């Protein structure tokens, strides 16, 4: 309390100084002549008479009862004046001379020095009082805007509020318990994360059970996972299940350009949490403020002060009141170790991409809000979207509903959702892109090359769709493969088969047209990435064996791999990657040579129809060619 009074006094002094400076500046700019005193020179009465006879007097002021006269001469500055004493009894003669000279005359009646007090009142006291009232009014407005109607007059905060809008306030968005509106029923595909958070909910509902045995609730839980997996939704669901208030703020909102403001926001956030306990405090994208501290040139003092304040507040608050801090990030490797130690964020809850069952549950959850026309097979959509997040799946359902409206139907059908999968993955169809006949033939052979190589693999995923319709993602066509069952492990042979499938398109171009095109750019990129991972991460190389030569950075974002080996070893890695891709290319070329007739037949069929299903492709591929000799029976 003593510190608050000291801060108020300091802020008041600061405000008075600023108001005084503003007044002096305005007084100088707006009233430059206010208070300027004239330069008055005493002269004799005869000098006045001579000036009147020579008609050099411009204006004369005569004070009654004091026989004093002040006059100015023509052609001189306004602040240069002359003063003399008039002889008693000569007033009439003087007035006549003034009239003859053409000068102006003004009679001044003395008011017992009251004009001096009026001057000081108008030029000093009144402007300062106006500035004081303006500052007080702004201070009260800012306090009401921030929800603080207390009696204190924090002039420093009021003056700063005019420019910053309550810079010391956290800005956290508070949602009352009855307005949260989200429970665990609204979260699908994250059963493990929900199980980990149910204990938090139970503590908020029944804290006495844990206190009786001496257990304490973890102060914080860190939700870690890729974007779009439902981390924020899970945090809201915890508040909704427990029936407590929910405070939400982003990590970037703590970092201000003003030194100390971020730490002030942290203090205010935890102050609000204590006043509203039990409650949930959710900090989204905490890596914006919780990055690892170092001594590098990129150090941000303001961010470090904010992080230090956050660490202190998490140590200091009483979690027996039922305050739980939840945070979310997709860059856990960049967080400061002090933030992750026991006593702060005790628990790390993975929120991973959903598996096949999870994807189906998410699709069913979002499909409840969409009118559909049976039959609807969401399992097929789930199998076609491996690696999709919850946000992607919600977007697929919404795109399907939008397509149904565009097609003039009142209910969404299975084909709408299947097309929406392609829209989310490859983009909308580009109707403005018109391929020439030759380019269309090249794309047809390219995609059929992928499909024939994929169909020849024993363990490969079956082909479900082939199209040469350009998409907005830049693809001129694509071949879709969908696994029957979800796989979590990939053997070396399966990886080699996948490499051969990637090389199938380029191999078909070389075999038929004896030429290379830019259409294989994405295939080459994917093949190179897979081959490099086989050698540096998966230990699938005969030369290096089980030796890790690379590490993954940003595992939940772009999954970039950086080499952790000597430059000479890196050259051998590049050579090994080239050899893997070259072997896969030769293998794909050999498969297509053996099925050259089918390659021609299927490419011509795709050229005419532009889009064919996997079933059509397999029927034509397995059909015996009457012009070719029958295959030998085993």
Write the pLDDT tens digit of every residue in 333-376: 888 888 888 888 888 889 988 988 899 999 999 999 899 989 89
Compute the distance between CA of residue 478 and CA of residue 60 in angstroms, rounded to an integer. Answer: 101
616 is a catalytic site residue: no
Distances (CA, A) of 223 to 182, 289, 324, 357, 573: 17, 16, 13, 21, 36
Compute the distance between CA of residue 346 and CA of residue 344 in angstroms, rounded to an integer. Answer: 6
pLDDT in tens, 563-604: 888 888 889 999 999 999 999 999 999 999 999 999 999 999
Closest CA to 247 of 256, 238, 255: 238
Compute the distance between CA of residue 535 and CA of residue 542 in angstroms, rounded to an integer. Answer: 9
CA atoms within 13 A on the CB side of 103: 27
DSSP letters of 67-133? TEEEEEETTS-TTEEEEEEPPTT-HHHHHHHHHHHT-EEEEE---TTHHHHHHHIIIIIHHHHHHHH
SS3 of residue 433 by DSSP: coil
SS3 of residue 451 by DSSP: helix
CB-CB contact of 201 with 211 (8 Å): no
pLDDT score at 153:
37
Residue tagged active-site, from 447, 459, 486, 509: 447
Compute the distance between CA of residue 562 and CA of residue 551 in angstroms, rounded to an integer. Answer: 6
Compute the distance between CA of residue 148 and CA of residue 268 in angstroms, rounded to an integer. Answer: 12
Residues of the chain with pLDDT under 70: 1-16, 19-20, 22-38, 62-67, 78-79, 87-92, 106-128, 131-132, 135-172, 177-179, 256-260, 294-301, 316-320, 431-432, 472, 624-634
pLDDT score at 65:
57
Q: Given CA atoms 183, 184, 189, 190 in this order, what sign does their dihedral have? A: positive
Backbone angles phi, psi at 84, to 5 degrees: -150, 170
Taking phi over 0 as left and psi of -120 to 50 as alpha, with beta for the rest, 35 belongs to: left
pLDDT score at 160:
36
Q: Cis before residue 375, ω within 30 degrees of 0?
A: yes
Percentage of the chain lying above the pLDDT 90 cut = 22
Compute the distance between CA of residue 463 and CA of residue 461 in angstroms, rounded to an integer. Answer: 7
Q: Given CA atoms 246, 247, 251, 252 in this order, what sign does their dihedral have? A: positive
pLDDT score at 27:
61
Compute the distance between CA of residue 76 and CA of residue 619 in angstroms, rounded to an integer. Answer: 112
The tokens 């024993």 sit on which residue? 458
CA angle 532-535-540, nearest 5°?
135
SS3 of residue 340 by DSSP: helix
Q: What does pTM read for this prediction? A: 0.67
CA atoms within 13 A on the CB side of 335: 22
CA angle 344-553-357, nearest 5°?
80
Compute the distance between CA of residue 311 and CA of residue 313 in angstroms, rounded to an integer. Answer: 6
Q: Please report how the helices 2-30 and 126-145 are oriented relative to each other, as an axis angle in degrees rounded to 10.
A: 130
Helical ranges in 297-413 per DSSP H: 301-316, 337-340, 356-367, 378-383, 390-406
Closest CA to 478 of 515, 510, 505: 505
């Amino acid at each position: 309390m003593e510190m608050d009074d000291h801060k108020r006094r300091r802020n008041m002094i600061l405000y008075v100084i600023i108001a005084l400076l503003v007044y002096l500046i305005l007084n100088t700019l707006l009233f430059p002549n206010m208070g300027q005193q004239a330069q008055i020179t005493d002269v004799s009465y005869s000098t006045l008479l001579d000036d009147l006879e020579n008609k050099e007097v411009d204006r004369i002021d005569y004070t009654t009862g004091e026989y004093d006269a002040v006059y100015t001469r023509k052609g001189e500055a306004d602040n240069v004046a002359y003063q003399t004493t008039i002889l008693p009894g000569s007033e009439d003669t003087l007035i006549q001379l003034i009239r003859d000279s053409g000068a102006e005359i003004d009679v001044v009646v003395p008011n017992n020095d009251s004009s001096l007090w009026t001057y000081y009142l108008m030029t000093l006291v009144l402007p300062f009082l106006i500035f004081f009232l303006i500052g007080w009014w702004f201070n009260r407005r800012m306090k009401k805007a921030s929800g603080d109607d207390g009696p204190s007059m924090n002039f420093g905060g009021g003056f700063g509020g005019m420019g910053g809008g309550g810079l010391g306030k956290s800005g956290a968005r508070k949602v009352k318990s009855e307005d949260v509106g989200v429970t665990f029923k609204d979260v699908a595909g994250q059963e493990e994360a929900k199980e980990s958070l149910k204990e938090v909910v139970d503590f908020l509902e029944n804290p006495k059970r844990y206190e009786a045995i001496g257990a304490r609730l973890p102060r914080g839980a860190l939700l870690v996972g890729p974007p779009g997996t439902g981390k924020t939704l899970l945090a809201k669901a915890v508040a909704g299940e427990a029936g407590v208030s929910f405070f939400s703020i982003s990590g970037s909102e703590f970092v201000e350009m003003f030194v100390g403001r971020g730490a002030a926001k942290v203090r205010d956030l935890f102050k609000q949490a204590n006043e509203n306990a039990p409650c949930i405090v959710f900090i989204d994208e905490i890596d914006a403020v919780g990055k690892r501290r170092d001594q590098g040139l990129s150090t941000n003092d303001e961010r470090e002060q904010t992080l230090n304040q956050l660490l202190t507040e998490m140590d200091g608050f009483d979690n027996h009141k039922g305050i739980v801090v939840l945070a979310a990030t997709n860059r856990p490797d960049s967080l400061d170790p002090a933030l992750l130690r026991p006593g702060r964020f005790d628990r790390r809850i993975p929120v991973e991409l959903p598996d096949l069952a999870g994807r189906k549950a998410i699709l069913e959850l979002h499909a409840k809000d969409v009118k559909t026309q049976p039959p609807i097979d969401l399992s097929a959509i789930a199998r076609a979207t491996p690696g999709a997040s919850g946000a992607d799946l919600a977007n697929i359902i919404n795109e399907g509903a939008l397509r149904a409206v565009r097609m003039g139907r009142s209910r969404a059908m299975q084909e709408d959702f299947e097309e929406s999968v392609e829209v989310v993955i490859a983009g909308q169809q580009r109707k403005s892109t018109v391929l020439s006949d030759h380019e269309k033939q090249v794309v047809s052979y390219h995609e059929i090359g992928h499909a024939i190589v994929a169909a020849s693999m024993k363990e490969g995923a079956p082909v479900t769709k082939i199209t040469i319709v350009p998409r907005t993602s830049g693809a001129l066509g694509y071949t879709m493969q969908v696994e029957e069952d979800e796989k979590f492990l990939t053997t070396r042979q399966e990886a080699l088969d996948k490499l051969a499938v990637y090389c199938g398109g380029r191999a078909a171009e070389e075999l038929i047209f004896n030429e290379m095109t830019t259409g294989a750019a994405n295939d080459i990129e994917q093949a190179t990435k897979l081959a490099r991972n086989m050698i540096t991460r998966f230990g699938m190389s005969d030369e290096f064996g089980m030796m890790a030569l690379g590490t993954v950075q940003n595992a939940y974002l772009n999954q970039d791999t950086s080499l952790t080996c000597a430059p000479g070893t890196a050259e051998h890695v590049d050579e090994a990657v080239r050899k893997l891709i070259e072997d896969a290319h030769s293998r794909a070329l050999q498969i297509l040579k053996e099925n050259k007739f089918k390659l021609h037949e299927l490419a011509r069929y795709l050229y005419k129809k532009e889009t064919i299903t996997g079933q059509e492709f397999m029927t034509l591929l397995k059909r015996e060619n009457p012009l070719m000799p029958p295959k030998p029976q085993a």
